[in-house]
Amino acid sequence: MSKIENLELLVVGGGPAGLSAALAAANYGIKVSLAEEREFLGGQLIKQTHRFFGSEKEYAGTRGIDILRKLIDEVNKNKNIEVLLSSRVLGIYEDNVVTILNDHKMKKYYPQSIIFATGASEKFLAFENNDLPGIFGAGAVQTLMNVYGVLPATNVLMIGSGNIGLIVSYQLLQAGVKVAAIVEAAPKIGGYSVHASKLRRLGVPILTSHTIKKAIGKEKVEGAVICELDSNWNEVKDTEQLIKCDAICLSVGLTPLVDLLKQRKVKTNYVSELGGYVPLRDENMETSIKNLFVAGDVSGIEEATAAMIEGQIAGLSVAKRIGKNNKREIEKRIEDAKNELELLRSGPVGKKIRKGLFKLGLNHGKNYNENFSEEALDISHLMKTGVPSEENLKNKLPSEEKVFDKGPIAISECFQRFPCDPCVKSCPFNAISENGNINNIPYVDFEKCTGCGICVSKCPGLAMFVVHKNFSETTSVVIMPYEFLPRPHRGEIVKVLDREGKYLCDGKVIRILDGKFQDKTAAVSIEIPKEYYLQARNFKVEE
Amino acid sequence: MDENKVIICRCEDVTLKEIRNAIREGFTTVEEIKRVTRSGMGPCQGKTCGLLIAKEISQMTGKPMEELELQNIRPPYGGITFEEVTKGTITENNK
């Protein structure tokens, strides 16, 4: 039998967590072998064309695909990392021998330590005819569109309003596909409100407290029957309605891919907040088996930013244990990474994660600052509909109407506490602040704001606008972010829409900023009748 | 809901009806249901059906999910050719 190769560190999975883990360890001299089952690196990042939330330190405001490029670049440059592509890890045995299938050969390895960054798989849903062709997982739809350039359908019904459901819906629209509706069984939207608002401004209905009953169609999906749910998640009588569509996209959550861990008999617990059966592990990402670490979604479903930091912690922990030098420096970096993670998870949207981690016996050393764990504003209406309430808006607009007289000013329509700061970091005048905690809602200091519009292109949630009320006697100008093709021409008349995607008025395009700096989120200035300056928040380019 | 038209295991085409029947017959772990229905034995190795079956068991028996386990998972994780297996063995014997 072929000989067994000794390794210092084997990282399984070439997604954000695995790449970060490999880099963190390799930078301290550890020899790393990174096994990825596909023929390319990247994991889910490869299809994430949207900008990331999170802190700027961890690439927030950058598109997933660009983050990936940076990571791959670093990995390829690093002499301590050997990348094994098209290499599926087939087994891990009790003596820690790992078998990898590469080039149709099963090779044996004996790593000193392993980091499993195997990610997650999509959950499936039980409903009638759920095996009809045309029923996709959201990940599949995203892969088809964004990796292979193939349109999945012409009119999609999205099931699930978590961030994936919302983001994939938006990307479907960008690709020219109609989204019939987004159906959500819970009474409130699962993902970030800014993503939901983006879709509502494009006229996509979001139906909370609704579920899919069955798919309709002979050879393939031709529609779906949905119905309303009451507060006990029971079907409300006589609320069935038929939605026409040619595809149903399921985005009902992810679950950690623990198959390899289970081979090695790593202990797992069912923790619904973290997506399903998750491995027990400590704060340094080490499982119940010594020298066997986890990072990213396999350790509990979270965002890619958290996955990258967890990867760093796991990689650094390995470096600290088997490396020869720099132990103190590594310890400091682990501490920093833990603090960063804690900050990311400290807001209201991190509540679920915190609860899940607590069930695993983890609190990351400290108690979270509960000041940031509640919403600052009542956003119940926003989270039900995707549209901010009058009350919400009032809170973010200038308290005095005359502030609008001074000239163009930035209006932030971000109402939910979640860890994100590109608007703050992008402002050259320090006019946007979130009071020292990345989880706070950003507020604009209208005294300092010059209405330059930089933030309009930088906000990953497309929630920044610039309003110039007194552009002329009778007109105002609103600068809006725009990520669709074709781009409007200067001088063109466009249909201006409100926050629910309803037609308001015609508007004239007077300026388009669409250079390298805007990075495909154009800032378009539209002149509109003055009475609409507080309502106009989107526009449609007529074909 | 027509339980016959709800697919739980897409690889092996096992319906909700078959899963519920199995639970009624007293098979109340995911591993047992895998053995009697073939659910989870297909190429996806239970990634689609595992959680759904666990939830169904939980609902029908009242046992919380925390007390249930997924099916056993053994190496190899994916398919390998017999040639690869036998080649290895022959070399070993000839050593």
pLDDT value of residue B93: 46
Residues B76, A91: C-beta atoms closer than 8 Å: yes
Domain that holds residue A314: 4-120+254-360
Residues B70, A260: C-beta atoms closer than 8 Å: no
Same domain for A343 and A278: yes
Identify the three-state secondary structure at position B46: coil
User: In the structure, what pLDDT confidence band is assigned to residue B84 with cuts at 50, 70 and 90?
Assistant: confident
Nearest-CB residue to B77 (from A88, A269, A276): A88
- Contact residues, B window 8-27, toward A, CB-based 8 Å cutoff: 8, 10, 13, 16
- A vs B: CB pairs below 8 A: 85
Cα torsion A395, A401, A406, A407: sign:
positive
Residues A255, B51: C-beta atoms closer than 8 Å: yes
C-alpha A353 chain-centroid distance: 15
Judged against a pLDDT cut of 70, whether residue B61 lies above it is answered with yes
Report which residue type is found at A50. Answer: H
Same domain for A209 and A135: yes
Residue ranges and CATH numbers for the domains of chain B are 5-85 (1.10.10.1100)
User: In the structure, what pLDDT confidence band is assigned to residue A105 with cuts at 50, 70 and 90?
Assistant: confident
Domain assignment of residue A219, yes or no: yes
What's the mean per-residue pLDDT of chain A? 95
Same domain for A307 and A444: no
What is the distance in angstroms between the Cα of A338 and the nearest Cα belonging to chain B? 28
Domain assignment of residue A213, yes or no: yes
Average pLDDT rounded to a whole number, residues A194-200 = 98
Same domain for A528 and A407: yes
ipTM confidence: 0.91
Choose one of A221, A251, A281: the last residue of a domain: A251
Same domain for A175 and A52: no
Domain assignment of residue A234, yes or no: yes
Residue of B1, B3, B4, B7 to mutate for A, most A C-beta atoms under 10 A: B7
Choose one of A235, A251, A267: the last residue of a domain: A251
Judged against a pLDDT cut of 90, whether residue A267 lies above it is answered with yes
Q: Which residues of B touch A90 (CB under 8 A)?
A: 75-78, 80
Domain assignment of residue A379, yes or no: no
Same domain for A413 and A280: no
Structure tokens, A145: 């569109």
Domain assignment of residue A328, yes or no: yes
CATH number of residue A73's parent domain: 3.50.50.60
Identify residues of A whose CB sits under 8 angstroms from chain B CBs.
1-2, 37, 88-93, 99, 101, 104-106, 121, 123-124, 126-131, 213-214, 255, 257, 259-260, 262-263, 268-270, 272, 276-277
Same domain for A281 and A240: no
Identify the three-state secondary structure at position A335: helix
Domain assignment of residue A214, yes or no: yes
| Distance from C-alpha of A453 to C-alpha of A144, rounded to nearest angstrom | 34
**pLDDT tens per residue, range A366-425:** 566 677 788 999 999 999 999 999 999 999 999 999 999 999 999 999 999 988 999 999
| Distance from C-alpha of A299 to C-alpha of A118, rounded to nearest angstrom | 9
Choose one of A343, A360, A377: the last residue of a domain: A360
What is the distance in angstroms between the Cα of A356 and the nearest Cα belonging to chain B? 13
Judged against a pLDDT cut of 80, whether residue A332 lies above it is answered with yes
**pLDDT tens per residue, range A17-39:** 999 999 999 999 999 999 999 99
| Distance from C-alpha of A92 to C-alpha of B30, rounded to nearest angstrom | 22
CB contact at 8 A, A282 and A338 = no
CB contact at 8 A, A444 and A431 = yes
Is B30 at the interface with chain A, CB within 8 A? no
Same domain for A432 and A305: no
What is the distance in angstroms between the Cα of A62 and the nearest Cα belonging to chain B? 32
Same domain for A46 and A110: yes
pLDDT value of residue B78: 83
Q: Which percentage of chain A shows pLDDT scores above 90?
A: 90
Nearest-CB residue to A270 (from B5, B6, B65): B65
Same domain for A107 and A86: yes
pLDDT value of residue B85: 72
The domain tally of chain A equals 3
**Residue in chain A nearest B49 by alpha carbon:** A124
Domain assignment of residue A365, yes or no: no
pTM of this structure: 0.95
Residues A126, B8: C-beta atoms closer than 8 Å: yes
| Interacting residues of B59 by C-beta distance below 8 A, sequence separation 6+ | none
**pLDDT tens per residue, range A117-173:** 999 999 999 999 999 999 999 999 999 999 999 999 999 999 999 999 999 999 999
Q: Which percentage of chain A shows pLDDT scores above 70?
A: 99
**pLDDT tens per residue, range A218-244:** 999 999 999 999 999 999 999 999 999
Q: Which residues of B touch A123 (CB under 8 A)?
A: 51
| Distance from C-alpha of A396 to C-alpha of A400, rounded to nearest angstrom | 11
Same domain for A235 and A347: no
Average pLDDT rounded to a whole number, residues A173-199 = 97
Domain assignment of residue A371, yes or no: no
| Distance from C-alpha of A259 to C-alpha of A34, rounded to nearest angstrom | 18
Judged against a pLDDT cut of 60, whether residue B90 lies above it is answered with no
Same domain for A262 and A116: yes
pLDDT value of residue B91: 47
